[in-house]
Amino acid sequence: MNIGIFGTGIVGRTLGSRLIDVGHSVKMGSRTQGNANALEWVATAGDQATEGTFEDAAIFGEVLINATNGEGALAALTSAKAENLANKTVLDVTNPLDLSHGFPPSLSVSNTDSLGEQIQRAFPDAHIVKTLNTTNCAVMANPQSLPEMHNAFIAGNNDEAKQKTRDLLQDFGWPDEWIIDLGDITASRGTEAWIHLWLRLMQHFGDANFNLHVVRP
């Protein structure tokens, strides 16, 4: 499947490489064609890796992944153009981190709203699915790297888009029973807020190589 990824940081490159490894074709989009990160990634990720603008990636992808930083998300999707997002599944893996006051960051939107909802409101014809923002990109892309069961979450308004997201998560290695559907896009408030605890755990452990498992009877 053709997948467009917005963002050339570590998250976009890690997810892009993994998707190519499992048989997909990926175009990485950034503000300008020929972004240095994107070119370096294309050079190492194999024949199915290409790069271009946000708009190029949006046109290319049957499914899209927003892997920009939270601050740049709305601008990136605006640059990709609403008509290129319409009726497409857009995985949003970002968190609205506000690093302007040091570490740990706060969130630039929280509590009664979320970045997932902001994006859905800005692009009402796109099918936004908030997912994978609850863990580090190495775990997102290779969940079997942890030794026990743990969970991913999906939240969105469109059931077909959520099924496509489940399928893509399974390609990454997430068994279907590890994926918890939290309901509509407002549940992004829950998964984005978890980052506050995630950040404290990262400080405690000294690395980001962990995830949560919801234990039930």
Q: At what angle do helices 73-80 and 115-122 cross, to 10 degrees?
A: 20
**Which of these ranges, 55-63, 145-153, 157-165, 169-177, lies near a copy of itself under the rule CB under 8 A?**
145-153
Q: Does 144 bind a copy of itself (CB under 8 A)?
A: no
Q: Does 163 bind a copy of itself (CB under 8 A)?
A: no
In degrees, to the nearest 5, what angle opens at C-alpha 142 toward C-alphas 136 and 84? 75
State the minimum distance, in angstroms, from the CB of residue 103 to a copy of itself. 12
User: Which residues, in sequence order, are CB contacts of 52 under 8 Å at separation 6+?
Assistant: 27, 28, 29, 33, 60
Residues that bind a copy of itself (rule: CB under 8 A) add up to a total of 45
State the minimum distance, in angstroms, from the CB of residue 217 to a copy of itself. 6
Q: Does 78 bind a copy of itself (CB under 8 A)?
A: no
Q: Does 15 bind a copy of itself (CB under 8 A)?
A: no
Full DSSP string of 35-58:
-HHHHHHHHHH-TTEEEEEHHHHH
Residue 111 burial (CB count, 10 A):
9
Residue 84 or 114: the one with the smaller Cβ distance to a copy of itself is: 114
Residue 47 or 148: the one with the smaller Cβ distance to a copy of itself is: 148
Pairwise CA distance, residues 21 & 37, whole Å: 19
Q: Does 217 bind a copy of itself (CB under 8 A)?
A: yes
State the minimum distance, in angstroms, from the CB of residue 152 to a copy of itself. 12
H/E stretch holding 195 reads helix 188-205
Pairwise CA distance, residues 135 & 210, whole Å: 7
Residue 89 or 191: the one with the smaller Cβ distance to a copy of itself is: 191
Q: Does 210 bind a copy of itself (CB under 8 A)?
A: yes
Q: Does 124 bind a copy of itself (CB under 8 A)?
A: no
What residues between 188 and 207 interact with a copy of itself by CB under 8 A?
189-201, 203-205
Q: Phi, psi at residue 189, to the nearest 5°?
A: -60, -35
Say how many residues make up the chain.
Answer: 217
Enumerate binding residues for a copy of itself (CB under 8 A). Answer: 101, 106-107, 110-112, 134, 145-150, 153, 155, 180-183, 187, 189-201, 203-205, 209-217
